[in-house]
Amino acid sequence: MSHDASPRPMAFARSGPLSGVVRVPGDKSISHRSLMLSALAVGESRIEGLLEGEDVLATAAAMRAMGATIERGADGAWTVSGVGVGGLLQPETTLDMGNSGTSTRLLMGLVASHSITATFIGDASLSRRPMNRVIEPLSLMGADVTVSPGGRLPLMLRGLCPAVPIIYRLPVASAQVKSAVLLAGLNTPGITRVIEPVPTRDHSERMLKGFGADLTVEVENGERHIRIRGEAELKPQHIVVPGDPSSAAFPLVAALIVPGSAVTVENVGVNPTRAGLYEVLRMMGAEIAFSNPREVGGEPVADITACFSTLSGIDVPPELAPSMIDEFPILFVAAAFAQGRTVMRGLEELRVKESDRIATMAEGLRAIGARVEELPDGLIVEGTGGEPLAGGTTVASRLDHRIAMSFAVAGLNSLAPVEIDDMGPVATSFPNFTNLIEQLSVPQS
Ligand code: S3P
């Protein structure tokens, strides 16, 4: 799980038109949740399309360590035999979360309302990320946490059973914090309520309901009130995980910036709490079409086609940020090829992702010839108007998969190749990224 041992440098060079119809791996957020909830159901669940990336495998290993039986079948589907809500066992080893903030924060929620103690460790990137945002509500519910200085990993969390139900208004727009409290609430007597002033991805709510939890969502005075009644029994499910819109963003933006391209990514999740990037790209003039809309396992899905487009800079509405929070690195790249200025603000959260995504992108974009101005809460990018960037240098991915893939895409329209110092982190979310880009680069006959 540790990809910080031996860096895997790789160069991405100017490409001819990209074309083809592809699929991307399963949605990371939905994959984590499908393993966790299946592991808490009574009986056997089946999961198709699970993302087999390092982050999700970290969740699988942790759920196994706490008693679930999780296996991959010969057909690529996964089966999970759950322990029942309240049935998690004391793990005998530390839980190695690798690079995965979602695994860490959601699993802390699960452990918080069980009578078990778990120690969470992670790689250098994860060990720099703030955990107080989940420690605070989980402590109110009764968990006892011993944490490294600055609220970082490694940390040890001792759960309490029965835990105390709380009403918690989210101080940051974070689906991970919301989900941690809801998952703790699943094994807590009474009703746990999370108040969400700014909506974030709602996969936890959808899937908890799908598994039979007693969960309601009401909008009161513009805020979402999510109530979960604890100590419910979850029924095993057959889950089909849609393609990850955050992964689809890379080949689709590549098609927008490489002249002559047309790329379709089939079977992409287009949940409105995740699809902000596509809205913003359209505002910039991108030719992007959704086709074949359908619903799969309680989530909206579509095929998305993007064609090479002349993009124009815009002021990106900050209120869209939560619905595209993981897509800013690749939007910065798109903006680098647009005509005029793109202003992106209200993005403080990007500073505490797998890397400081504002600083890392600003540094790398400048190095390959883009004009950018770093702000405390965002970035202003002055685009080339479609001309290639200079490239010809090595950029740092800083243990951040989305940084690595964003600069790889930038290399596809740069005069000299862009070398990424380490593509290893891409294995956390999109293991076949390089092959897929190569496949799209082969001229179609
Ligand atoms: C995620 C929520 C987001 C996102 C992360 C996955 C999730 O984090 O950046 O990649 O699955 O809940 P925050 O909720 O902390 O913004």
User: Token pair of 294, please?
Assistant: 């359908």
% of the chain at pLDDT higher than 70: 98
pLDDT of residue 351: 98
pLDDT greater than 80 at residue 3: no
Rounded Cα distance, 193 and 4, in Å: 39
- The model's pLDDT over 378-431, given as tens digits with 9 standing for 90+, comes to 999 999 999 999 999 999 999 999 999 999 999 999 999 999 999 999 999 999
CATH class of 28-240: alpha beta
Q: Which amino acid is at 78?
A: W
Q: Is the pLDDT of residue 151 over 50?
A: yes
CA–CA separation, 352 and 285 (whole Å) = 30
* Mutational pocket test of ligand 1: of 106, 110, 132, 176, the residue with most ligand atoms within 8 Å of the beta carbon: 176
Q: How far is the CA of 322 from the centre of ligand 1 (A)?
A: 9
Testing ligand 1's pocket by substitution, the residue of 97, 102, 105, 323 carrying the most ligand atoms inside 8 A of its CB is 102
Binning pLDDT at 50, 70 and 90, where does residue 297 land? Answer: confident
Q: Is the pLDDT of residue 41 over 70?
A: yes
**Helix, strand, or coil here: 394?**
strand
pLDDT tens digit string along 270-296? 999 999 999 999 999 999 999 999 999
Query: How crowded is residue 200: how many other Cβ atoms within 10 Å of its Cβ?
Result: 22
Q: Which of 194, 264, 206 is nearest to 239 (CA)?
A: 206
Q: Is 148 annotated as a binding residue?
A: no
- Give the containing element (helix H, strand E) for 205: helix 203-210
The rounded Å distance from CA 176 to ligand 1 centre is 5
Q: Is 326 annotated as a binding residue?
A: yes
| Closest listed residue to residue 201, CA positions, set 327, 108, 289, 85 | 327
Beta strands 69-72 and 144-148, pairing class: unpaired
Residues 331-381: pLDDT tens digits?
A: 999 999 999 999 999 999 999 999 999 999 999 999 999 999 999 999 999
Radius of gyration (C-alpha) of the chain in whole angstroms: 21
Mean pLDDT, residues 66-80:
98
CATH no. for 2-26+242-441: 3.65.10.10
Local confidence band at 2 (pLDDT 50, 70, 90 cut-offs): very low
Instruction: Indicate whether 4 pLDDT > 60.
Output: no
CB count in 10 Å sphere of residue 197:
12
Per-residue confidence (pLDDT) for residue 189, from 0 to 100 = 98
Question: Over pLDDT 90: what percentage of the chain?
Answer: 97
Number of neighbours of residue 74 by Cβ within 10 angstroms: 5
Cα angle at 400 between 381 and 136, to 5 degrees?
100
Q: Tens digit of pLDDT for each residue in 225-250?
A: 999 999 989 999 999 999 999 999 99
Other beta carbons within 10 angstroms of residue 180's beta carbon come to 30
C-alpha 198 – ligand 1 centre gap (Å): 14
Cα 10 to chain center, whole Å?
23
List the structure tokens of 53: 């990336």
Query: What's the pTM?
Result: 0.98
107 Cα–ligand 1 center, Å? 13
Which residue puts its alpha carbon closest to atom 5 of ligand 1?
102
Under 8 Å between Cβ of 369 and 390: yes
Q: What is the DSSP letter of 428?
A: G
Burial of residue 45, with CB atoms counted within 10 A of its CB: 0-12 exposed, 13-18 middle, 19 or more buried: buried
Average pLDDT, integer, range 7-31: 98
Can you read off the two tokens belonging to residue 36? 């966790």
Q: For residues 3 and 29, what is the distance between their CA atoms, to the nearest angstrom?
A: 21
**Atom 13 of ligand 1 has which residue's CA nearest to it?**
174
> Domain locations in the chain?
2-26+242-441, 28-240
| 274 carries a ligand binding annotation | no
397 annotated as belonging to a binding site for a ligand: no
Report, as an integer, the average pLDDT of 181-204.
98
Q: Read out DSSP for 218-231?
A: EEETTEEEEEEESS
Rounded to the nearest angstrom, the distance between the alpha carbon of 334 and the centre of ligand 1 is 22
pLDDT of 441 above 90: yes
Q: What was the pLDDT predicted at 209?
A: 97
Active-site amino acid positions: 326
- Could you tell me the pLDDT band of residue 1, with boundaries at 50, 70 and 90? very low
Same fold across 2-26+242-441 and 28-240: yes
Distance (Å, whole) CA 81 – CA 83: 7
Separation of first and last alpha carbons in the chain? 40
Q: Which atom of ligand 1 is nearest to the CA of 200?
A: 14
Q: Which atom of ligand 1 is nearest to the CA of 246?
A: 10
Residue with CA at minimum distance from ligand 1 atom 10: 326
Those residues with Cβ within 8 angstroms of residue 371's Cβ, 6 or more apart along the chain or in another chain? 381, 382
Mean pLDDT of the chain: 97
The pLDDT tens digits of the residues spanning 93-118 come to 999 999 999 999 999 999 999 999 99
- Does the annotation flag 339 for ligand binding? no
Q: Which atom of ligand 1 is the closest one to the Cα of 204? A: 12
Q: For residue 443, name the pLDDT band (cuts at 50, 70, 90).
A: confident
Is residue 442 very low, low, confident or very high in pLDDT (cuts 50, 70, 90)? confident
Give me 246's structure tokens. Answer: 């955050």
Give, as one character, the DSSP assignment of residue 427.
G
Instruction: Please enumerate in sequence order all residues whose Cβ is within 8 A of that of 334, keeping only pairs 6 or more positions apart, or say none.
Output: 253, 256, 257, 281, 284, 286, 311
Q: Which residues pair with 169 in a beta bridge?
A: 195
Q: Is the dihedral of CA 349, 245, 343, 386 positive or negative?
A: positive
Atom of ligand 1 nearest to the CA of 353: 9
Q: Which residues line ligand 1 (CB under 6 A)?
A: 29, 102, 174-176, 179, 200-201, 325-326, 349
- Mean pLDDT, range 117-128, rounded to an integer: 98
